[in-house]
Structure 1
Amino acid sequence: MSGTRSVPSEPPLDLYGKDRSDRTTRVLDFIAESRLRWTTFVNRKEPPARVDDRRLPLVVVERRVEAHDTDVISLLLTAADGRKLPQWRPGAHLDLELPSGRVRQYSLCGDPADRNAYRVAVRRIPDGGGGSLEVHDALKIGTPVTVRGPRNAFPFVLPGYGSSAARVHFVAGGIGITPILPMVRMAHRLGVDWTMVYAGRSRDTIPFLGEVESFGDRVTIRTDDEHGLPDARALLPGVGTDTSVYCCGPVVMTQVIADAVRDMPGVELYSERFSPPPVVDGTAFRVELARTGETIEIPADKSVLEEVLKVRPDSPYSCRQGFCRTCRVRVVSGAIDHRDTVLTAAERDAGDMLMCVSRCDGDRLVLDL
């Protein structure tokens, strides 16, 4: 994501996407991240031949507080001239270009059948690099914005249409409800057999609670202050053979579900997270910035993007997971270890690289920076 800032990223900082200073939670999150790499590839596809980078000028026409603690707001975005917006499917997201120049990704959480407006929701992250704060503080009604997309890295596959499952179970944690909500709406509208567990710290912190509760007894609301931290049994009630599970939330929750699904034959798992994956099987190398001659040491457990941001904090980035292309850079010399899911063969042959995930297949890369 782009912008001028000194903090390189803004992931959710605790179990449900809000800053806390619980050291135990941070340690558990780190351990879970290191064990989660296999789920990144559960439903991995070949890199697509084309990515939708169209830029759409929109305007903020509505702001709403979606959680009683006021830390989550939703924005309704429409075209200034009233034209219909491009279609999207559940699981899709937008790249939102903020007035400062930062770019942030937010899941579309409205109704895919509504071609007149896009809805996104943003949780305030006090120490997250400024993007969420700018959304909360600067994007007032009437503010013009530009978006890219929609794009979909977390598609919903209906039973009988690409999925062998007979029923669907959704799990959402905190702000992770945003991509799940349109999936639930579609499943309900089409008569799919579905259930959901929606977890959070307390009812005051859960966004879209009224919308979720409107689906009745198919949904279980579970909060830590009433029930304690959920385990796999609480998150996956009734899940068995011929069930597909869609999960979006914090790493700890996703890991609990992933561990449980390993021992459930016939269960499909689809998941999304809002934080970068850990560097696995990395080795240290050097990066040289061709335009200045500066040399940056890249440790074995750090990404190129993370280290480049320390000296070039305005370098553009967004997803930090290798699918949005925002941090693409041209490599002048050196062999690239490509770990993205989006660059085409022609782009890779031309020397393009995504700094958030890809590395050096050797000891030195020269970047056109």
Structure 2
Amino acid sequence: MESPTHSAPDAFERSDRRLVVVEKDLIASSVMSITLRRVDGGRLPDWTPGAHIDLILPDGVTRQYSLCGDPADSGDYRIAVLREAAGHGGSRFIHDVLTVGDRVGLGGPRNNFVLVPSASYTFIAGGIGITPILPMLRAAEAVGSRWRLLYLGRDRSTMALVDELAVGSGDVTLHPASERGRISLAEWIGSYDEATKVYACGPARLLESVVDATRTWRPGWVRSERFTARTVDEPPRLTPFEVQIFGTDITVGVGPGTSVTTALRGAGIDILTSCARGVCGTCETTVVSGEPDHRDSILSDAEQVAGDCFFPCVSRSRSDRIVIAV
């Protein structure tokens, strides 16, 4: 997640939003484990498996990282950061500059990848996508659900957290491509089982393969989290539309090439954003009326059809007017 961002200006002012780095360890090739604690030693906000936080670096840049520690631990947050050589510098800063004792700001936690109750789970992780999956394995084991995991990577040296996957009775399949070649994902997933839900996280190509393998399944049975924005094939609306703020007489025009958040800020209405790519969920906004043009990488097909929220950093309106609550 390497893009310029817009974050809360008081991130370094509130004591409950200031964190200190207490541990930093290289746990795989190009993967750094970071443990964070509140500067004042207080309790951290609760979180559930699948949640991520905004890490606000000392230069003000914000990046999103999945929490991979223990939700029952109210004192520490743990993340794992992949060094992205071709990124915009956030991960390189964390790997090369950030040290134990440094302070960062906190946004969130938020959860767009909620683990819902199920008798059985199939988990699929690609590379650093193991980070939100690991707490899910522990949660599934704790409630007695059946589960299995497919963990894919280029080679073993790049696969982080492997030694933490033996969390109980689940079936773990490690698939380093350098040793085992390509896998038939559809064959491994198998046929639809109404008792089993699928959770996948990893590179876009992996997630598209999961979608292809489960296209005929019941809606909501397959959930995924993307680290990069998906490609929306349908072109965006090329004519202006209006955004009305519910309960007020404020109406803002949005022209082609201008995001809803940019147009709103131009009218003095600020909506907090972070990734600005429809990936993190920071700017989720309630839709009161109108038809959103969903262009995010978060909502499921069923959630998009419901049309009761959208992400104005990337999404737009199909109707001439959309009414939102901010």
- Specify if TM > 0.5: yes
Cα drift, residue 227 of structure 1: 1.4
Return the match for 1:194 from 147, 151, 158.
Answer: 147
Cα drift, residue 153 of structure 1: 0.6
Return the match for 1:60 from 2, 13, 21.
Answer: 21
Write the letter of the residue equivalent to 1:229: R
Counterpart CA distance in 1 for 2:311 and 2:208 is 29
| Residues 1:77 and 1:8: Cα distance change in structure 2 (over 3 Å) | closer
> What value does the CA root-mean-square deviation take over the aligned residues?
3.6
Matches for 1:1-369 after TM superposition, within 5 Å: 8=3, 56-67=17-28, 69=29, 71-159=30-118, 166-213=119-166, 215=168, 218-233=171-186, 235-236=188-189, 240-264=193-217, 268-279=221-232, 280-284=234-238, 298=257, 317-318=274-275, 320-321=277-278, 324-325=281-282, 339=294, 354-358=312-316
Structure 2 residue runs of 5 or longer lacking an equivalent are 6-13, 241-254, 263-271, 300-309, 321-326
| Residues 1:141 and 1:275: Cα distance change in structure 2 (over 3 Å) | same
Equivalent position SS for 1:74 = strand
- Write out per-residue CA displacement over residues 117-165 of structure 1, whole angstroms, 9 at most, x where no aligned residue: 0011110111111111111122210001110111111100122xxxxxx
User: More displaced, 268-277 or 256-265?
Assistant: 256-265
| Residues 1:357 and 1:298: Cα distance change in structure 2 (over 3 Å) | same
Cα drift, residue 95 of structure 1: 0.7
| Residues 1:353 and 1:66: Cα distance change in structure 2 (over 3 Å) | closer
Contact kept? 1:58, 1:77, Cα under 8 Å:
yes
| Residues 1:304 and 1:276: Cα distance change in structure 2 (over 3 Å) | farther
- Write out per-residue CA displacement over residues 168-227 of structure 1, whole angstroms, 9 at most, x where no aligned residue: 111111000011111001111221111111111110010111112454761111111111
Counterpart CA distance in 2 for 1:264 and 1:220 is 23
Contact kept? 2:47, 2:109, Cα under 8 Å:
yes
Equivalent position SS for 1:324 = coil
Counterpart CA distance in 2 for 1:8 and 1:305 is 16
Equivalent position SS for 1:150 = strand
Contact kept? 1:243, 1:267, Cα under 8 Å:
no
| Residues 1:318 and 1:353: Cα distance change in structure 2 (over 3 Å) | closer
Write the letter of the residue equivalent to 1:61: V
| Residues 1:260 and 1:270: Cα distance change in structure 2 (over 3 Å) | same
| Residues 1:225 and 1:305: Cα distance change in structure 2 (over 3 Å) | farther
Cα drift, residue 324 of structure 1: 3.2
User: More displaced, 98-107 or 315-324?
Assistant: 315-324
Counterpart CA distance in 2 for 1:149 and 1:84 is 14
Cα drift, residue 316 of structure 1: 6.7
Counterpart CA distance in 1 for 2:90 and 2:315 is 21
Counterpart CA distance in 2 for 1:116 and 1:8 is 29
Write the letter of the residue equivalent to 1:357: S
Counterpart CA distance in 1 for 2:284 and 2:24 is 30
TM-score normalized with structure 2 length: 0.72
Cα drift, residue 272 of structure 1: 0.8
Counterpart CA distance in 2 for 1:248 and 1:88 is 18
Counterpart CA distance in 2 for 1:168 and 1:76 is 28
Aligned identity (percent) is 38
| Residues 1:238 and 1:263: Cα distance change in structure 2 (over 3 Å) | closer
User: More displaced, 107-116 or 265-274?
Assistant: 265-274
- Write out per-residue CA displacement over residues 237-264 of structure 1, whole angstroms, 9 at most, x where no aligned residue: 5863321001111121112221121245
Structure 1 residue runs of 5 or longer lacking an equivalent are 2-6, 11-53, 160-165, 287-295, 307-314, 329-334, 343-351, 363-369
